[in-house]
Amino acid sequence: MPYNDPEPEDPQELIGVELPGDETVTREMAAAFAEEFAQLGFTRPQILALFRKAEYSGAHQAWTLLGEEAITRLVDESVSVWGRFTYVVTDEADDDAGTRPLRFVRPRS
């Protein structure tokens, strides 16, 4: 078969499925997006900008359905929990000192 024309029985063929959901599911999905980006170190304005961009279809759909106020509240909650930590990973020369554990640095407030 040609490269761009997969066989009908091909188990590796990608198939998109849309699942039904209500406001509760949409709110939980938006909270998961906000927490994930906050854990990655994104700031409040950066996360809100992601929800407003149509390129991030799941987050943008939640922003469209729930509204600016609800999304802002979810982002604020996520940043208040996960925005307190800064993860610092440093590379050090291999020596006989062994491996050091990852250090968590809390910014002074």
Q: What is the pLDDT of residues 31-50, one digit of tens each?
A: 999 999 998 889 999 999 99
Domains in the chain: how many in total? Answer: 1
What is the C-alpha separation between 16 and 13, in angstroms, rounded? 10
Position 103 confidence tier, pLDDT thresholds 50, 70, 90 = low
Phi, psi of 14 (to 5 degrees): -80, 130
pLDDT above 70: percentage of residues in the chain: 72
What is the C-alpha separation between 63 and 58, in angstroms, rounded? 9
Q: Tell me, yes or no, whether 109 lies in a domain.
A: no
Determine the structural domain holding residue 36 and report its residue range: 23-84
Position 108 confidence tier, pLDDT thresholds 50, 70, 90 = low
Q: Tell me, yes or no, whether 11 lies in a domain.
A: no
pLDDT above 90: percentage of residues in the chain: 43
